[in-house]
Chains A and B, each alone.
Chain A
């Protein structure tokens, strides 16, 4: 009997729920405590949990390092790109009102905030994963059996 059976089964049940919760926190950042940074950390925690239980190599197959590197840059560019888009549309930097003509309901503000928070989510998630891979990927001093 695999001694880690309970861990494996429970984590397979929980990891999708953690990811969904992270996305919930992200999209409700407009109306309740939450937003991009918290959501990014929660989703990263889900992947790190997977890595802790199933091994770093399995995690690297699921979320490869090249993807992490690309996603980090993409998130920053998304955030900055939203700002540049507002510049191109004629308003000040990061003035979201111009992103959508409906000023009465401030749709532009909603679109702008969702986009930048998506950028923040991507960057925070990938940076947390990159930090974890950088630390966990180093050869340990103490061999596995002697812990």
Chain B
């Protein structure tokens, strides 16, 4: 059991963060806190990708200048296969070196940018809601809307 926890420690943290974030989204009535929970939820996904992309003993996936031939493509292929095969195949001119995989990191960068954009739009909406309704508590906003609906005319 302890070995399981020690080996999969990162994944356990991922699950804890994910559930904390989702709980924050569901359980809070404050719009900003809900966005914070969403951010936490997205952060756990980043940790998941980085954990899966770790190559032990990996070097930066940059070919030294001395390697000739297919330059980028060889390096790229080696990097893509590094998690699966520790030694490069005989067909490549690359020395038997272990390169870390750049792909999960690129995916994380993209996901971070998406998260930033979402957070920005969400906060802008919260600012407008605050200016329009005067509050950022969910219940007060629902009350205001319900009053509009049952009054039979639009705000």
Interface, chain A (partner B; CB < 8 A): 31-32, 35, 37, 106, 109, 131, 134-135, 138
CB <8 Å contact, B127 and A135: yes
Instruction: Collect the chain B residues with CB atoms within 8 Å of residue A106's CB.
Output: 71-72
Beta-carbon nearest neighbor of A104 in chain B: B71
Instruction: Collect the chain B residues with CB atoms within 8 Å of residue A134's CB.
Output: 124
Interface, chain B (partner A; CB < 8 A): 60, 62, 71-72, 109, 112-113, 120, 123-124, 127, 131
Could you tell me the distance in whole angstroms from the C-beta of A44 to the nearest C-beta in chain B? 11
Q: A31-B62, A37-B113, A131-B120 are in contact. Are A138 and B127 (CB under 8 A)?
A: yes
The total number of A-B Cβ pairs within 8 Å is 17
Beta-carbon nearest neighbor of B128 in chain A: A138
Beta-carbon nearest neighbor of B71 in chain A: A106
Known: A32-B60, A35-B109, A131-B124. 14 other contacts (CB 8 A): A31-B62, A37-B109, A37-B112, A37-B113, A106-B71, A106-B72, A109-B72, A131-B120, A134-B124, A135-B123, A135-B124, A135-B127, A138-B127, A138-B131
Could you tell me the distance in whole angstroms from the C-beta of A54 to the nearest C-beta in chain B? 23
A121 to B120, CA, bound (A): 18
Instruction: Collect the chain B residues with CB atoms within 8 Å of residue A109's CB.
Output: 72
A32 to B105, CA, bound (A): 12
